[in-house]
Amino acid sequence: MNFDPNDPRWTDWKWQHANSCKDLDTLNRWMDSAGQSASFDPGQFNELTTNYRMGITPYYFSLIQQFNASDPIYRQIIPSSHELMIQPEELKDPISDENPARGSRPLKTLIHRYPNRVLLLPTAQCAVYCRFCFRKRLVGDTAHNASKEDLQAAYSYIKQHEEIEEVILTGGDPLTLGDRSLSTILKRLEEISHLRLIRIHTRLPAVNPYRLTPELGQTIASLEKPVWISTHFNHPHEISTIAGQQINTWVQRGIPFLNQSVLLQGVNDSAQVLKELFMGLIEIKVKPYYLHQADLVQGTGHLRVPVKKGLELLRKLQGEIPGYALPHYVLDRPDGMGKIPLQNQYYDTIKHTED
């Protein structure tokens, strides 16, 4: 498929997903359509995408302004030779999701790291494959998709553990599922009496906002239990007019939005960019929730920012933007114990490999 924003199917979220760029030939055609010449070495590109596949929706590709690693969108999704440079401290499983010693993954599709909430992973598929993803060893691999039996086991586990008050749908990206599948999952969760909240973690509002359809919004809004949407915007360029409009259609239905960003070198590691990101999110009624210190994912050293710089950026923003627009700056510990706030006195209580 050639890259064509004027295609009448452009606003169909399924078309966006089905026609994503997944190989070098398609990427070269898209670059050519944008008036750019590609300079990728085929052998190296194949090595990069064998280790971690590529996926880019036409919409998200259209947000690229400079077709090189200086562009914040390009940098997040186009494979880089730097990914082959694995540092000693980097890990395949950087937050110990898979560590049997932790005992936090009782089922294939369930992670129970915190006493009163669990992660439910119904799919390993994403609309785009971010080069910094902490689950890059899993996402895109259909072997990690949940079967009906896997989901049934998860529902049974949640019912048996009455201390669980919140279920967080993650993956992969739950919104890559069709409406029927999502509706079935949400309604099964709503039947569990001791659950108080449902959360959906998704990148689609940033990379394929057309997924926020009125039909799915109505399904979510009709549930008796509150459903929070946790989005993933990393740069102001991702907050497009259409993204804001699509989110607003759901906000008007009473669906609340949060945002989790990752601090990334060359993407958002300046106080001005972060200010524009957080204020832009507030303008479209999305609450900045977390700013993540990038995990020690293999081949992502070129994207990580030192913790001390992250703290300095947060200090610069303190007072520059309203308190409700300032997210928590957190580190997800490699030992699987969960997130640690990095601001202020918390920073002195931990040792980080990049100090």
Catalogue the active-site residues: 113-114, 117, 126, 130, 133, 135, 295, 332, 339
C-alpha dihedral (238, 240, 243, 247), degrees to nearest 10: 100
**One-letter identity of residue 2:** N
E strand map for the chain: 110-114, 117-120, 166-169, 197-201, 227-231, 257-263, 287-293, 328-332, 339-341
Per DSSP, 102 falls in state T
Sheet holding 287-293: strands in order across?
110-114, 117-120, 166-169, 197-201, 227-231, 257-263, 287-293, 328-332, 339-341
Residue 36 and residue 22: Cα distance in Å, rounded? 18
Residue 175 and residue 202: Cα distance in Å, rounded? 6
CB neighbours of residue 179 within 10 Å? 13
Tokens of 180: 């029927």
What is 310-334 written as a DSSP string?
A: HHHHHHHHBTTB-GGGPPEEEEE-T
Residue 172: asked if its preceding bond is cis (omega within 30°), the reply is yes
Residue 179 and residue 216: Cα distance in Å, rounded? 6
Please report, for residues 147, 148, 154, 257, 282, the alpha-carbon distance to residue 184 in angstroms, rounded to integers and kept in the order given: 13, 11, 14, 22, 31
Note whether 225 and 197 are within 8 A (CB).
yes
Residue 124 and residue 147: Cα distance in Å, rounded? 11
